[in-house]
Structure 1
Amino acid sequence: MTRCYLPGRTKMRWLKAFILCLLALCVLLLLHHYKVLYHRLMVRELKASGNFKALRFLWTLPTGTHFLETGESHQDQVNMETDWGDQQPDEANGIPRTLPDPEGPSGELHKRSFRLGDDPTPYFVRTKSGASCFREGTKMDSPQLGDRGHEARMGGRKTLHAHQEETKGRSDLGKRPVQCVCRPGWHGPNCGIPTMVQHSNLPTKGRLVPRKVPRRVVNAININHEFDLLHARFHELADVVDLFLVCESNFTAYGGAKPLHFLHLLLNGTYNYVRHKLLYVFLDHFPQGGQQNGWIADDYLRTFLTQNGMSRVKGARPDDVFLIDDADEIPAREGVLFLKLYDGWTEPVSVHMRKSLYGFFWKQPGTLDILSACTVAMLFSVYKGDGISLRRREYYNMPGFRTYENRTGQMLLKWSIGSPVHYAGWHCSWCFRPDGIYYKLVSAQNGDFPRWGDYAEKRDLNYIKKLIQTGGWFDGTVGMYPSTDLKEPMFAPKYILKNFQRYKYLLQNPYF
């Protein structure tokens, strides 16, 4: 008897075979990406343990300065002079227009180098129950921590900088892994993952492990006259950032001459509490074409800051963190500390920042997602040591992108600390008193049009006060702002909230 197959059944079989082939292809692709990610994480763990000598690099910067090899550890730092000596003040305002006498006790600040040393802070503690817990994120009074938890509370010295023994936990399949007891806002088996990372789009959360030796963090900033926000940054980040590169120019972004305000404050002792972590970068020229095209001047500030500043940093390792911000962008401490203490995250890294205008009382919708961090290795291999290239998002089109991926065995997957509802920092735009806004108007670059400083009525202080009062913009529009409360999470940096009277003009609308 001859069997007859209906055409519909034949089509169905072909369709099933096609779907099975597609599923097999997807599985193969997933396995390939998992293999690459796993290899990358193993490379980082080996590199952190100091047993993978093949990953040592010798970085040569354009100026001829060399980074030392990864295996070297340095505790010494630049000895900043305690006596700044006599300055040559400008007769009008007492602010120096030139750098200190090279032969004086201050030395040539803009030519000094800085040697990075390892951070000796005991971030993790080994408990009696065998867990490696992050001190700040762990409930040290929990009964699960035992006697060593008590030692940790009392400042005991039985600590380690290291990671949890995950491999040992995997080998003892019959035993339940020891967990730390986390405080609110902290997550993970070691209680070292902050909420802003836990609720981020990081694709490798399951592979995060604490490092044996913390990375060193270099934070680069250009400064004009954002000095109140600079104090807030230093107090927010000083205990986790190992070096601040602060660049100042004697030219405005428009090309006009200006005094060196930051240098004046540095010399009179204003920043003594953090000067052992400061490296002064002096830009003494205005870029060619910067007056005709203001974006040239704007980009050049970050290029010079990175290339000049990093050429004077000694002892940097390839896996150290480079972080570049504008002066009005302050990343939260917890996110930067995570980058410092953990292996397993991908790069480059951006930060979701709470957006504010004129003060933290005018909260703008959404977040500002700023691409601002990567390793030192990526900075020089992909971005060629140029900070402005990091701020852009076209890293995958850069010539060194594939080479860096292949050499390190990693996939470059950009991710963001925080999310649109979990802030990881603050962007406070035009956050000055009226005279500070006036100064920003007349100093602005010749590229972000309309250039409101060119209009006399926009420079009027009474008009500026009205803008602050209403939250309006120079084009006559008024934004829609949600209600805010000083007590809401991430309203403003902690230092600003603790010094309410000093920063009252940023915390409460002064013209209501």
Structure 2
Amino acid sequence: MVRLRIRYRCVALAFILSQVLVGFWFFQPMDPAKQFLKRLFTEGGQTILHLRDQPTVTMYAAYGKDLCVREGTLVKASSEGNCVCRPGWKGKRCGVPEIMQRTDWMQNPDLSKNIQLRKRPRRVILVSPFIHEYDIFEANVNELVGLVDVFVIGETNYTVASNNSLPILSKLKDGWLKDTQNRIIYVPVRESDLKKRSFVQNLVQTGLRLVSDIRPDDLFILTNGEEILRRDVVTFLKLFQGYPLPVKCQFKHYMYGFYWSLPENSNLTKPEVCASSFQFLANAFEYQVSRLQEGSVLEEDLNFFTSHEQPVVNWTIPEAGWRCHLCLSVENIFQKLSSRSESPPKWLLPSSSYSSISPFIQRLIKFGQDENLEPVGVPVHNIAEEELPPYLNRNKEKFAHFFKNPYETASIHNLV
């Protein structure tokens, strides 16, 4: 009888353990790539991505009742009442990058007096339309990992050579950016959609419908596929409140690679609105990207926000990141310029083929001329590491094509 009881107990224990193991297996979190594919039931039919608050410990280091911003703090050297800042960071909480200290509003006591650290960090949604700029977007994602909660990206089969091709979706399904796919919302924009709204407007309206629990004070960031934002800038915008809206970004500008720099007076180097709270986006711009990019705020909206202790001032973050225009392979430059629905280059005819036009594009790269045949600017040799996006700098072998002009020493006769 005793042996029978022991046997029953062993069987029961084995059964319980098996159920626990099955439970662990069944409820274990899927890797990001599988989560993305699960949400992407069909091309264009996705389930909702739910925003969640990140644990504050990932953003702040606590010392008693005091908080220090981890990104800007030497954590081991700090203590209660004493946040020790890393080089390049300022402020009582080590959360203000030096680049932000140089902005006009920070020097204005009336505007900077309300700036304060948030107890609950904003969630950040970044919308980025791009065509072929895979390397730049990969760098942007990896620069901002842990700060951006959702990346809304998309493509349209109207802007690629093959009308049925969706190369971004194919790359995602093949595992591109697999470690961050659980934060990606993919939006395919059809040609019929472009007749109603612009490509970017489609991304904003469709992408935001696939995100739940957006709070009014969450942060909306708009970039294009050629831009890489500085991590310290996004950290500040995410963790602080009281700064003026809307936010403009000024980028360091390059072309073809980080070996041709654009002059500051170029049409491509003008600062544009890049960030806003969702409350401001909704009330001041009515979710209209064209109005946001213009940065024009109606008088009644200005009075409304100012009365609620939200400064409304056009201001610019200097050197908020890097913009690398046409930093693509020759083939992708041809594809991108060919797909322009507005103002295509005069030298690129509808009948032009890649084989016939590629030598001409190579000459543009060699001599530093843009698509309008204007001189790009100054050639850059041996660019300093601190001038580069850190992710690209850490992966120079993979992104070697960004740092050296591939046609610099090529014979002009080989480019004809």
TM-score of the alignment, normalized to the shorter chain, above 0.5: yes
Q: Quick check: 1:82 aligned with 2:34?
A: yes
Q: Which whole-Å CA distance do the structure 2 matches of 1:135 and 1:402 have between them? A: 34
Cα-to-partner distance string for 1:444-492 (whole Å, 9 max, x where unaligned): 12x225444327499611111111111113444323316443325233x
Cα-to-partner distance string for 1:417-449 (whole Å, 9 max, x where unaligned): 2x2xxx21111101111111111121112x225
Mean Cα displacement is larger for which, 299-308 or 241-250?
A: 299-308
Evaluate the alpha carbon distance shift between residue 274 and residue 381 of structure 1 in structure 2; reply closer, same or farther with a 3 A threshold: same
- The residue that corresponds to 2:343 in the other structure is 448
Q: Quick check: 1:354 aligned with 2:289?
A: no
- The residue that corresponds to 1:471 in the other structure is 368
- The residue that corresponds to 1:393 in the other structure is 295
Q: Which whole-Å CA distance do the structure 1 matches of 2:167 and 2:183 have between them? A: 19
Q: How do 1:63-102 residues align onto structure 2 when only pairs under 5 Å count?
A: 82=34
- The residue that corresponds to 1:232 in the other structure is 139
User: What's the offset of the Cα at 1:404?
Assistant: 4.2
Evaluate the alpha carbon distance shift between residue 476 and residue 112 of structure 1 in structure 2; reply closer, same or farther with a 3 A threshold: same
Cα-to-partner distance string for 1:153-179 (whole Å, 9 max, x where unaligned): xxxxxxxxxxxxxxxxxxxxxxxxx44
Q: Quick check: 1:371 aligned with 2:273?
A: yes
Q: Which has more strand, going by share of residues?
A: 2
Mean Cα displacement is larger for which, 316-325 or 380-389?
A: 380-389
- The residue that corresponds to 1:411 in the other structure is 311
Evaluate the alpha carbon distance shift between residue 206 and residue 330 of structure 1 in structure 2; reply closer, same or farther with a 3 A threshold: same
- The residue that corresponds to 1:212 in the other structure is 119
Rg comparison, structure with higher value: 1
Q: How do 1:87-486 residues align onto structure 2 when only pairs under 5 Å count?
A: 106-108=40-42, 110=44, 111-122=46-57, 123-127=59-63, 131-142=66-77, 145-146=78-79, 178-203=81-106, 204-252=111-159, 257-286=163-192, 300-366=198-264, 367-396=269-298, 401-402=301-302, 404-405=304-305, 408-417=308-317, 419=318, 423-445=319-341, 447-448=342-343, 450-454=345-349, 456=352, 460-481=357-378, 483-486=380-383
Aligned residues: 368
CA contact (8 A) 2:201 2:289 kept: yes
Q: Which whole-Å CA distance do the structure 1 matches of 2:101 and 2:258 have between them? A: 25
User: What's the offset of the Cα at 1:402?
Assistant: 4.2
User: What's the offset of the Cα at 1:241?
Assistant: 0.1
Q: Structure 1 vs Structure 2: percent identity of aligned residues?
A: 27
Cα-to-partner distance string for 1:172-213 (whole Å, 9 max, x where unaligned): xxxxxx442222100011111011211122343343211101
Secondary structure at 1:382 match in 2: helix
In structure 1, stretches of 5+ residues that fail to align are: 1-76, 86-103, 149-177, 291-296
- The residue that corresponds to 1:505 in the other structure is 401
CA contact (8 A) 1:382 1:404 kept: no
Q: Quick check: 1:494 aligned with 2:390?
A: yes
CA contact (8 A) 1:354 1:368 kept: no
In the alignment, residue 366 of structure 2 is paired with which amino acid?
Q
Cα-to-partner distance string for 1:264-289 (whole Å, 9 max, x where unaligned): 1111222211111011112123457x
CA contact (8 A) 1:379 1:385 kept: yes
Q: Which whole-Å CA distance do the structure 2 matches of 1:280 and 1:198 have between them? A: 36
Mean Cα displacement is larger for which, 379-388 or 321-330?
A: 379-388
Q: Which whole-Å CA distance do the structure 2 matches of 1:235 and 1:363 have between them? A: 23
Evaluate the alpha carbon distance shift between residue 451 and residue 374 of structure 1 in structure 2; reply closer, same or farther with a 3 A threshold: farther
What's the TM-score, normalizing by structure 2?
A: 0.80
- The residue that corresponds to 1:60 in the other structure is none
Secondary structure at 2:253 match in 1: strand
Secondary structure at 1:362 match in 2: strand
CA contact (8 A) 1:217 1:320 kept: yes
Q: Which has more helix, going by share of residues?
A: 2
User: What's the offset of the Cα at 1:141?
Assistant: 4.5
CA contact (8 A) 1:252 1:258 kept: no
In structure 2, stretches of 5+ residues that fail to align are: 1-28, 409-416
Q: Which whole-Å CA distance do the structure 2 matches of 1:246 and 1:475 have between them? A: 28
